[in-house]
Amino acid sequence: MNKKNLNLWKTGIFYAFCCFIALMVIQGCDNDPGLESEPEPEPENPFQEINDWIFENMAIFYYWNTQMNADADKQLNPDEYFESLLYSGDKYSWIQDNFQELMASLMGVNTEAGYDFGLMLMSANSSQIIGYITYIKQGTPAEAVGLKRGDFFLTINNTQLTLDNYHTLIREMSNPHTLGVLNLE
């Protein structure tokens, strides 16, 4: 092989190599026209499963199930969706915020202290309130600490009950709390 033929042969291999690389690059860049024509998927509704469950159960158990708003927007959060399903004359239905708390209470587990009570003014011209125990449930913390029907209390969590604060203090009673019970003996 002479020098001229060797150079032609090297040039031919070089061009063949370049064509091979170009072909591979073109093959890798091939776009599937079918992918471009597909619409982008709509964002998934994060409340779909919950709202479906709400609707299905209301369709069975809801007193006004024939008057529910079947066209309600399932994109709403569950509280709003539930409210949008209700019959306009319904003032009794509610939805539980915490399903775990609801399930526990339905299974007999609760966090209440175990007593009922009433409130009254300390005297006619007073802003101080006194509480009185009306009922003690058996097997509850109230029974365990010795509360009895007829006991009086002046404080909740060491704060005197008054007309200004009794709403706030009563809300605190859903959590562990203390009562300042009067000993009238």
Rounded to two decimals, the pTM is 0.43
Please, what's the largest Cα pairwise distance for the chain?
Answer: 128
Residues 134, 159 share a domain: yes
Domain span at 126: 115-181
Contact present, 128 and 166 (Cβ < 8 Å): no
Q: How far apart are CA 142 and CA 75, in angstroms?
A: 44
Residue 95 within a domain? yes
**pLDDT tens over the chain, length 185 residues:** 555 555 555 555 656 555 556 666 666 655 555 555 666 666 678 888 888 888 998 899 889 989 988 888 988 988 899 999 999 888 888 887 766 666 666 665 556 788 999 999 999 899 999 999 999 988 888 899 999 999 999 999 999 999 999 989 988 887 888 999 987 76
Q: Which amino acid is at 93?
A: S
Domain tally, the chain: 2
Residues 120, 79 share a domain: no
Residue 127 within a domain? yes
- Minimal CA–CA distance to 95: which of 47, 154, 54, 151? 54
Residues 134, 175 share a domain: yes
Residue 36 within a domain? no
Residue 76 within a domain? yes
Q: How far apart are CA 69 and CA 124, in angstroms?
A: 50
Q: How far apart are CA 185 and CA 175, in angstroms?
A: 29
CATH number at residue 138: 2.30.42.10
Calculate the alpha carbon distances from 117 to 134, 142, 148, 151, 170 in Å. 5, 12, 11, 9, 11
Residue 88 within a domain? yes
